[in-house]
Amino acid sequence: MATRTTNRSSSSSRGRGNGSRSSSNDRSAFNWGESGALIGAAVAGAAIAVAANLGRKAVMQGMSAAAGDWDEVLAAEHDLALAIFDKLLVTDDSQTFKRTMLVKKLTHALDKHAHEEEHVVYPALRDANDAHDADTLEAEHGYVKTFLYDLNEMEKDSAEFLPKVREFRQMVEAHARMEEEQVFPRLKRELSAEQNDRITSLVNKEGFKMA
Ligand SMILES: [Fe+2]
Ligand SMILES: [Fe+2]
């Protein structure tokens, strides 16, 4: 990413230097003329934005990565999601903006979490001959997405909003309990220390992509 940005910046300064050679060069893709400085500034701005976003991701992922092994990282994310549900459940129908923001936050948290499980933990489960649990849990993630779709689409002052949140929370809590109490401990027992570390590293890597 940084290399590409550097190359683009150097193209821009080269282009400006060649500007006086001929009229055909004036139309060169490398000759940005007076707008070159502006474009250069825009590219630099984009690079700063990318760097800031990577920093933000590192902080976000660092917060969950600090929790320890993959199963502890995922359990902490379950707690985080359940806490967002609890904040939603104490809103009233007049707090539509707050509900919109919390639903966005919940969507991001659950998307990131599902991405980590679906790209690392469930494949590891299938490789450890536990395809049945992996398939059951992954199918439930489909219903998580359906609840998120419904909540995002629903009018936030609807009388149906809180019952839907309540039903969704129960489903997520049962799903998380099955993972934390049965599936994750069983998988962890079958992993060597090296495999366990590898899964922790992969979960953090996938989480970073989605942070
Ligand atoms: Fe899950
Ligand atoms: Fe989970």
Please spell the DSSP secondary structure of 51-107, one letter per residue. Answer: HHHHHHHHHHHHHHHTT-SHHHHHHHHHHHHHHHHHHHHT--TT-HHHHHHHHHHHH
How many residues are present in the chain? Answer: 211
Q: What is the pLDDT of residues 79-134, one digit of tens each?
A: 999 999 999 999 999 999 999 999 999 999 999 999 999 999 999 999 999 999 99
In the chain, the percentage of residues whose pLDDT exceeds 90 is: 67
What's the gap in Å between 178 CA and the centre of ligand 2? 9
Indicate if 42 and 89 belong to the same structural domain. Answer: no
3 state SS of 149: helix
Task: Return the ligand number nearest the Cα of 144.
Answer: 1
Indicate if 179 and 93 belong to the same structural domain. Answer: yes
Mean pLDDT over 165-188 rounds to 98
Indicate if 151 and 105 belong to the same structural domain. Answer: yes
What's the gap in Å between 110 CA and the centre of ligand 2? 9
Contacts of 5 (CB under 8 A, 6+ apart): 43, 46, 47, 50
Would 204 be classed as within a structural domain? yes
Res. 12: pLDDT tops 50: no
Number of domains in the chain: 2
Indicate if 133 and 44 belong to the same structural domain. Answer: no
Indicate if 97 and 35 belong to the same structural domain. Answer: no
Indicate if 108 and 174 belong to the same structural domain. Answer: yes
9/29 Cα distance (integer angstroms) = 14
The mean pLDDT value of the chain amounts to 83
Q: Regarding predicted confidence, which is higher, 37 or 202?
A: 202
Indicate if 35 and 129 belong to the same structural domain. Answer: no
Indicate if 42 and 142 belong to the same structural domain. Answer: no
Would 153 be classed as within a structural domain? yes
Distances (CA, A) of 208 to 10, 39, 195: 30, 30, 20
Indicate if 83 and 179 belong to the same structural domain. Answer: yes
Indicate if 28 and 103 belong to the same structural domain. Answer: no
What's the gap in Å between 195 CA and the centre of ligand 2? 19
| pLDDT reported for residue 42 | 62
What's the gap in Å between 54 CA and the centre of ligand 1? 26
Task: Return the ligand number nearest the Cα of 140.
Answer: 1
Task: Return the ligand number nearest the Cα of 139.
Answer: 1
Mean pLDDT over 167-182 rounds to 98
Task: Return the ligand number nearest the Cα of 78.
Answer: 2
Would 55 be classed as within a structural domain? no
Q: Regarding predicted confidence, which is higher, 3 or 33?
A: 33
Domain that holds residue 6: 2-49
Instruction: Name the residues around ion ligand 1, CB cutoff 5 A.
Output: 117, 137
How far from each other are the two terminal CA atoms of the chain, in whole angstroms?
18
| pLDDT reported for residue 61 | 60
Would 63 be classed as within a structural domain? no
| Least confident span in 16-20, 94-98, 115-119, 140-144 | 16-20
Contacts of 115 (CB under 8 A, 6+ apart): 206, 207, 209, 210
What's the gap in Å between 136 CA and the centre of ligand 2? 12
Task: Return the ligand number nearest the Cα of 125.
Answer: 1
Would 193 be classed as within a structural domain? yes
Indicate if 29 and 78 belong to the same structural domain. Answer: no
Res. 191: pLDDT tops 90: yes
What's the gap in Å between 106 CA and the centre of ligand 1? 14
Would 54 be classed as within a structural domain? no
Read off the pLDDT band of 36 (50, 70, 90): low
| pLDDT reported for residue 211 | 87
What's the gap in Å between 207 CA and the centre of ligand 1? 14
Task: Return the ligand number nearest the Cα of 77.
Answer: 2
Read off the pLDDT band of 62 (50, 70, 90): low
Would 58 be classed as within a structural domain? no
Indicate if 112 and 38 belong to the same structural domain. Answer: no
